[in-house]
Structure 1
Amino acid sequence: MGNRKLSRSNCGRRTWWENTSFRDSLVYSLQHHYVNEQGKTRLYENMWTGDWWWDVQTELPPGATVAPIILASDKTNLSRMSGNKSAWPVYLTLGNIDKRLCRKPSSHGTILLGNLPVAKLDCFSDKWWCSLEGYRLFHLCMKKLLAPLIEAGRVGVLMPCADVRICRVFPILAAYMADHPEQCLVATCQENFRPKCPVGPDERGEPVFSCLKDPDCVTTALKQATDLPHANIFSALTPDHLHQLHKGVFKDHLVSWVMKAIEGGSHEVDRSFKAMLQHSDLRHFKNSISLVSQWTGTEYKNMEKVFLGVVAGAADERVVRVVRAVLDFIYLAHFESHSDESLDALHHAWRDFHQYKTVFVDMGICKHFNFPKGHSMEHYEISIRSLGTADRYSTKHPERLHIDFAKHVYDASNKQATYIQQMTRWLERQEAVHRFATYLEWNTTLPATATRPTASESMPTDASPAAQPDLEDGDWRDRYRLAKDPAYPSLTVSQLEDQFGAMFFKTALNDHLKSLANKNSRLLPLVSTPLHDPAHVAAYKQAKLKLPILRQVSASAHVDIIHASPSRLDPPPLRTRAPCKMSTVFACDPAQSASVPASLRVTRVRVIFELPSMYDARVLGVTGHLAYVEWFTPFHGVDDATGMYVVSPSTRQRCRYASIIPLTDIVRTCQLIPCWGEQIQRRPVTGDILDNTSMKFFVNLYLRHHDFVLLHLLANT
């Protein structure tokens, strides 16, 4: 079985509790976080902000420290191309460690607990009996792996901590990450039943409340196999974004239903995907989605980003609303920080899905909705309130650990019959090297003094500044970077007009300079000289913009790229013309209100440039770079079915409305989706579709989670 000797490590004590590198990462007490100072709106992030920790703490003696055990298991193939070598790793981490640290394999925030046996059980001829014995073998092995937790969870274990204190720790099983088949294996139920709740196979498609299963009502064998203090294996089964939402509800069910509901079916959907406008944060399916040979989580997510725009107008409005509800639920479920308001929005998305899903029955596309992964959506809100946000429990994290703890380790073995024993021995040696290197690092540095936070410090009544949406930060508009030298150091006005399409560059520059001079009449003589044709302008291909940190999205900043390069001819032998890359962005509109997103307006960047040398930038007060942009109509309202803003190219006297703005007025890039209607335009569009003044576009709020928070969550609060 490859047991990693849990009793020797005392439930991870040697790995985390005594390790000084985790001194500032371990949280010993439960906390409540709030959005506002009044303490009325809860925040849910790590496990210590959820309700499960509070409920367990009340059952323990005063002064006890809870160590929530998080398990994950996932069977994986080891051999490539040929062979049938497999491994079944079981991983362990603690809820006391920040979830962002646990995601980094190099931090050793998650360890390999053991390898379960991968046995075919060919000795049993009957398939039902073979399956039953497979269940028994799994629970027998898990019972042996988790046996040290029984006594430790009842009386506690005295552990010396990294802050030079000794506390009584109660390691308690809190969460178990697994895909649906393994969840059913853990809960000892068939795969057409729900592992968490007792709802029947014919009732899974309706939004009925179903409580969690009671371990006392399950078979005696299961009760003995899970005899862990204060643990409920059914509440410990956590949501799984990858298999339940991306692959299950979206790809396996919703996409197939929608293709049958659209006139033209998969061919029409393929044509819409191929005609989608490109963006640096979006995979462009230039060969359609039907030709994707192997779907991964990345493909699912990129398909979700534009799927509502593909369906809008081409399908019945109720179909559009179902797609919108599912995408809203998926994006909200991915939040790394939830509040009571965002959980209410998650519940409303789940309710809307059940309200409109009957359209597929009315069309004769499906007969029922009794599939397990669809019913799993019901348990997301409860699980987040209890154990913290669901992003911590995604099975993509154990799959990433397979690389370090299974696949690379298998490559170090001789790949023969005893490969599991060789893998275990190799891992033990690697861990010994790591522990010794950690000891040497600790021995050569003077550890800083650290004290554990008091109860009042660890239970704040208001949220920290990082918990608030960082949209009002004073310097967030200045977070952009350009190349040291411009890519186009000497462009004439004619080249700007012909190659970049900046048809009104001279007029726009003159208007911008006059607006600066209006603030100081003494500057009028400096701007009265028009830009002549032989003058040269230095332009850049792109600018990098650092987006503000949003607690719902990530704790690290996302780098956004603003493109402004013309079409070019590829070198021989291809000699094909590559299209231009000119980003559509959100820019500040001073004519609009100060609220978000009403203060923003969509515009297209054609040129990023420096003020020509014939003008004195220092005297004029121009301290940064400028951008020549073409505007779209303001945000007047959202489309009722899709919930997305609709814009079109803005004109002045039947010409594109263009102007020059400071580069710092650009907030972030965005993507526009053409409103094709029932069928995508059959004839090829002459010229650039973004220049078609009669065309309408959806502003894609599903491009990134940043856009979803800005255009959906904040706009509705």
Structure 2
Amino acid sequence: MWAPKQAGEEGGYDKDEFVLAPQQAGDGNLDDDALDDSLIVEPEWEPPVEEREDHGSMDDPVTAEDLADEADQEHQHRAHNNIQARAQGQCGCTVVPYPDPCAGQRIANQANCHAANVEYEAHFVDVEKENLYHPFSSKMDWEVVRWAKLCGLSLTAFSDLLAIDGVSECLALSFKNANELNSIIDHELPTSRPKFKREQIIVAGEAFDVYYHNVIECVRSLYSDPDFAQYLAFAPERHYADEDETICLFHDMHTRKWWWGTQKKLDQHCPGGTIIPIIILSDKTQVTLFRNKSVYPVYLTIGNIPKEIRCKLSCGAHILLAYLPSTRLEHITNKASHRRTMANLYHACLSRVLAPLKSVGLDGLHMASGDGTLRRCHLLFASFIGDYPEQLLATGIKFGECLKCDIDADEMGSNTAPEVLDALATLDEGNLSFVHACLAVGIKPIVHPFWEDLPFANIFRAITPDILHQLYQGLVKHLLGWLSAACGAAEIDAHCRRLPLNHHICLFSKGITGLSRISGTEHAQICRFLLSIVIGIRLPNNLNGSRLLRAVQGLLDFLYLAQYPCHSSETLQLLIDYTERLHIDYAKDAYCATNHKDEFEKILHHKKYVNWRLTGDHCSEPYHLRPPDMTFRRLQTMTKHPSAKAVSIDKLVEDYGATYFREALARYIVQLNHANDPITLSGQALDVLALDIKWLSVDARRHGDATVTLDSVHARPQRNSGSQSPLARRSDTALVGLGPDTNDVVSAGTEGFRVGQVRAIFALPSKSIPLLFPPTIWVPNHLAYIEWFTPFPPAPDRHHGLYKLSRSLHGGEKVASVVPVANIVRSVHLIPDFGAVVPREWTSDTVLDDCHTFWLNLYLDRYTFCIFK
């Protein structure tokens, strides 16, 4: 659509200004063809919609299998739409409260109950109220302490710093070395969480040490934390995506069927109680760097806290509950006896740790939340999170069998929870009867498993999916090996090395087939482009690749769907496993700590108290929990100041590759002025923002981090690096809205959006705006020069579900526009159509210009997957 700039064209430009003037035929910078083709305002939005084609990648006919796949995809599409519509607030969320209003209600007589921060403040009653930072002398004193203890600084390094002459005096610190500081923390700061205690467990005639906190005090510490007070859930609810209450939504634990059903059972025994769901996380890990020392760390959190908080380790919603002993039992040579003893040791220790839950689960106890509200709380074991070996150990199920359903590996009709409990009850009938009874229901003969006497507990329903080991390091690992054998490792690696850059994509410069010990993060990265890089690749004996693509698509769809933060009755209910990340933050650091006074926890608790004093927020209003996708809103941010000023258009065209920038900007000015006459631009200096656009998540519920970068789009020029070859320019691809509501991707669908390559981000000079526009016209602060790709086809490819796009051309030239930066919704990733053999001259930096056709990567992240599926 845009004619290229004519050779040798120049004009009377003023370096610092743009000048708007009527364009006469044959006069100015642009020739007549360029004026007719690009500067005359058309009634419809440009670029014009081009003819759409059926972009099929295979020539095989439609089969019954294809029709079945289409039916499955249609069902999945409806499920996705229900989730998306609820997330966008189109159909809202219908909340049905628990029918008995007494469930979770507060206790009327709370005369002696105080908020957690008030009780903490009571430790400093004899201190002058003016000092907010007591027992530290000043704000400077406190900030130095917080930095020293929370930033991983060693005691030796801190002592060496304070030993420098004048440092302590200049900062007016109340301590002169690390020992004096530790003394203040140990004796003047209250203990925020319970202390470890040690007991011995006797199993098979051998004594083992187990270290653990009091489980009730751990729960009380989390439940009474003032940071969580306004977010806690106290009673179950049912959430629906529609007003007819036909599509259930499941996200936080209080929306699960477990809480609703358990509340009914509890009400029959003791009405009006508040359930505190106990979530146990366990995984064996090595805690020292020598002598092969390892333990079983056990963590605890509660389901009353929203999962967005629980999943943020920085929020402190987990407590290291216990260290279970790990021993090789080398003196037991019989393998069966060895495995049985190890399992019995694990359950004996965990039974001792969780023993207090047996009584408080049924009878309850009075417990105050962080805002001082008192309720009768019932602590009930609800969920167990661990990898597959841990799940087998906790349930007693044999390796290879399902932990959730009652189906044997070989036949139907196996164990249920009541049958398992009946089998465990045969222990008094003798060892032989006990072993046979356990084998009959499909479990190992465990003597009194930890969950046996816990009220309302069902270990088989408590098990959560293990995404890391079962899907990433299980399914994806085998899928990658299968594809390497089928498609050829060399060609797969060649495709990986030539992927375009994107915020969400990690480039594997050496390929992916030769990786060893792939982490969960690396597996997740590989899944983002795995399907796209095998499209069109040559298979042995020239076999048709449609079945391979369908298989890969189905597995990736399952993987992504399994990790939805909110599920409906139409989607799989799976949860994200995050136990691996807890090892470094809780188990290993706590094990290696030399200060038995829990100074880390004390400093964190005092930090919360100081913030409470500073903000003056001494009361919390009731808060109604909302579904997770309503929590965050995306905030687009830009660089405050331009990275370059007075950049000539010619240099912008050269460095950024913005070939038709002059013509696109002229057209945008005409359109914004609602004018019909073409214009010429006199002047060529403008501000260029040569950085990137970022989208931040703004946490409206203040769950932790104020903002997190969700996405970004880069538009950077070619630069000299001082070496022989300059640094290549970067021009990311993005999803650009065509209408006024650019953020409503769900309602607009693919019809309301186009994919474009962002070549440059810029701003008009402030001096030139009054010359270009009347005062009544609002001019966006930031603009972007975009080169377009073709519109979305009516439907994705039927073999793999991806949309095929190509460069939008008019007369052989790229179609380009200037749009407000606000119209850019998010980044997208285009995978080149590599074909059977990728051209080896292509590179990651140039592939967007070298290739002509692309596939839109639907697996870039879960948000993109949800939008386009």
TM-score after normalising by structure 2: 0.65
- Given the alignment, which residue of 661, 668, 675 partners 1:505? 661
Distance 1:659 1:212 in 2: 64
* 242 and 210 in structure 1: CA distance in 2 versus 1, 3 angstrom threshold: farther
Paired residue type of 1:679: V
Q: 1:174 aligns to what?
A: 382
Paired residue type of 1:278: L
In terms of mean alpha carbon deviation, does 441-450 or 329-338 score higher?
Answer: 441-450
* 589 and 57 in structure 1: CA distance in 2 versus 1, 3 angstrom threshold: same
- Given the alignment, which residue of 278, 288, 296 partners 1:88? 296
Aligned-pair CA distance for 1:634: 0.1
* Secondary structure in 1 matching 2:581: helix
Structure (1 or 2) with the larger CA radius of gyration: 2
Aligned-pair CA distance for 1:71: 0.3
Paired residue type of 2:650: S
Aligned-pair CA distance for 1:494: 2.4
- Given the alignment, which residue of 232, 255, 272 partners 2:495? 272
Q: 2:728 aligns to what?
A: 579
Deviations 1:181-224 (A, max 9, x none): 11111112332223333433357xxxx99986553354446473
Q: 1:43 aligns to what?
A: 249
Deviations 1:371-391 (A, max 9, x none): xxxxxxxxxx3xx3xxxx613
* 273 and 427 in structure 1: CA distance in 2 versus 1, 3 angstrom threshold: farther
Distance 1:402 1:705 in 2: 26
Deviations 1:410-461 (A, max 9, x none): 3334xxxxxxxxxxx82656556766776787789877455778xxx78xxx
* Secondary structure in 2 matching 1:597: helix
Distance 1:469 1:641 in 2: 36
Distance 2:850 2:610 in 1: 66
Q: 1:350 aligns to what?
A: none
Paired residue type of 2:756: T
Distance 2:374 2:332 in 1: 51
* 710 and 442 in structure 1: CA distance in 2 versus 1, 3 angstrom threshold: closer
Distance 2:613 2:730 in 1: 54
Aligned-pair CA distance for 1:67: 1.3
- Given the alignment, which residue of 570, 576, 593 partners 2:721? 570
Q: 1:224 aligns to what?
A: 448
Q: 1:27 aligns to what?
A: 233
TM-score after normalising by structure 1: 0.78
Residue 623 (1) aligns with residue 780 (2): yes
Q: 1:370 aligns to what?
A: none
Q: 2:585 aligns to what?
A: 404
* 127 and 411 in structure 1: CA distance in 2 versus 1, 3 angstrom threshold: same
* 23 and 547 in structure 1: CA distance in 2 versus 1, 3 angstrom threshold: closer
- The answer (yes or no) to whether the contact 2:657–2:759 under 8 Å persists in 1 is yes
* 692 and 22 in structure 1: CA distance in 2 versus 1, 3 angstrom threshold: closer
| Matches for 1:17-416 after TM superposition, within 5 Å | 17-60=223-266, 61-80=270-289, 82-202=290-410, 214-216=419-421, 218-220=423-425, 222=446, 224-225=448-449, 226-251=452-477, 253-262=478-487, 265-314=488-537, 316-341=545-570, 343=571, 381=572, 384=573, 390-391=575-576, 394=577, 396=578, 398-413=579-594
- The answer (yes or no) to whether the contact 1:597–1:710 under 8 Å persists in 2 is no
- The answer (yes or no) to whether the contact 2:263–2:275 under 8 Å persists in 1 is yes
Distance 1:79 1:93 in 2: 25
Distance 1:687 1:215 in 2: 60
* Secondary structure in 2 matching 1:569: coil
Residue 665 (1) aligns with residue 804 (2): no
Aligned-pair CA distance for 1:35: 2.3
Alignment root-mean-square deviation, CA: 3.3
Aligned-pair CA distance for 1:701: 1.2
Q: 2:790 aligns to what?
A: 633
Distance 1:19 1:682 in 2: 58
* Secondary structure in 1 matching 2:715: strand
* 628 and 412 in structure 1: CA distance in 2 versus 1, 3 angstrom threshold: same
- The answer (yes or no) to whether the contact 1:35–1:467 under 8 Å persists in 2 is no
- The answer (yes or no) to whether the contact 1:560–1:668 under 8 Å persists in 2 is yes
Aligned-pair CA distance for 1:258: 1.8
Distance 1:686 1:160 in 2: 57
Aligned-pair CA distance for 1:90: 0.7
Deviations 1:34-62 (A, max 9, x none): 22344332221111000001111111132
Report % sequence identity.
Answer: 30
- The answer (yes or no) to whether the contact 1:617–1:623 under 8 Å persists in 2 is no
Residue 539 (1) aligns with residue 666 (2): no
Q: 1:647 aligns to what?
A: 805
Aligned-pair CA distance for 1:304: 0.5
- The answer (yes or no) to whether the contact 2:637–2:696 under 8 Å persists in 1 is no
Distance 1:482 1:196 in 2: 48
* Secondary structure in 2 matching 1:261: helix
Question: How many matched pairs?
Answer: 617
Distance 2:699 2:598 in 1: 40
* 436 and 536 in structure 1: CA distance in 2 versus 1, 3 angstrom threshold: closer
Distance 2:369 2:817 in 1: 62
Distance 2:303 2:739 in 1: 47
* 215 and 232 in structure 1: CA distance in 2 versus 1, 3 angstrom threshold: farther
Distance 2:407 2:492 in 1: 35
* Secondary structure in 1 matching 2:687: strand
Distance 1:480 1:143 in 2: 50
* Secondary structure in 1 matching 2:761: strand
Aligned-pair CA distance for 1:256: 1.2
* 539 and 430 in structure 1: CA distance in 2 versus 1, 3 angstrom threshold: closer
* Secondary structure in 2 matching 1:168: strand
Distance 2:818 2:782 in 1: 10
* 149 and 468 in structure 1: CA distance in 2 versus 1, 3 angstrom threshold: closer
| Unmatched segments (≥5 aa) in structure 2 | 1-208, 426-444, 540-544
* Secondary structure in 2 matching 1:250: helix
* 469 and 699 in structure 1: CA distance in 2 versus 1, 3 angstrom threshold: farther
* 222 and 602 in structure 1: CA distance in 2 versus 1, 3 angstrom threshold: same
- The answer (yes or no) to whether the contact 2:281–2:298 under 8 Å persists in 1 is yes
Paired residue type of 2:285: T
* 107 and 656 in structure 1: CA distance in 2 versus 1, 3 angstrom threshold: closer
